[in-house]
A = this chain, B = another copy of it.
Amino acid sequence: MAKTESNVDRLYDALRRMATDFSFKPDARINESALATQLDASRTPIREALNRLVAEGFLTFQSGRGFFCRSLSPELVMDLYEARVAVEVEAVRLAARRGDERDIAVLMQELEDIAPDYTSEADTEALLAMDERFHTQLCALSGNAELARMLANLNDRIRYLRLIDLRRLQAIGPHGQTMVSAHQRILDAVARRDAEGAMAEMRAHIERRREGATKAVRDAYAQLYVPEH
């Protein structure tokens, strides 16, 4: 039961990680042969994985010229955030209407348990991971696999910018408490079956960071093209 993951899956995971954290620079062409040697595989399975990433919006493809990293623009980030609103607001509505009482309680407990980490955590990546985990689990309460899948895809595509946005936020002052209380307000509304309230809280929660994330695009470019200090 060790070899549960096939080779193409391994390649796919590796390539998606490279795409999410912009190891491929925006709009840059992707060299298949180089990847093949780097990942110790032939071009055939690499191309299969790249094709999946095209369909998922991580890469683009131009016939005759090959694969390219997706571009990075404020407009795109805005679109992705709006799509997140669409998915998560409806998900939280469904969660409020029909989410399992037990599952909601479990999530509330977990939120309470890790609340100290939210507020103390200096590692921005860990904070982002906690935030993403909450949103993912909340979405799962809707019981809708398709919404969950969409959210996972959107999260992967904006993670890099959220990280930059969150770093800047933390530089100003600790914001873990703001985040945890926002999450609690949303979940409280779900628990009291207040769909409208939960939706409004969720929308506000996401839109509050939308501007920050689009502004982070500039910093993203700076980070991507500047050598490690």
Q: Which residues of A contact B (CB under 8 A)?
A: 5-6, 8-9, 44, 47-49, 51-57, 63-64, 76, 79-80, 82-83, 85-87, 89-91, 94, 142, 144-147, 149-150
Are A144 and B82 in contact, CB atoms less than 8 angstroms apart? yes
Q: How far is the CA of A49 from the CA of B146 in the complex (A)?
A: 22
Residue of B nearest to A75 (CB): B145
How many monomers of this chain does the complex have?
A: 2
Interface of A is mostly: helix
Q: A56's closest neighbor in chain B, by CB?
A: B55
20 contacts between A and B (CB under 8 A): A5-B63, A9-B63, A47-B48, A48-B48, A51-B52, A52-B52, A53-B55, A55-B55, A55-B56, A57-B146, A76-B145, A79-B144, A79-B147, A82-B94, A82-B147, A83-B146, A83-B150, A86-B86, A86-B87, A89-B90
Q: Which residues of B contact A56 (CB under 8 A)?
A: 55
Kindly identify which residue among B53, B79, B82, B90 contacts A85, using a CB–CB cutoff of 8 Å: B90
A146 to B151, CA, bound (A): 12
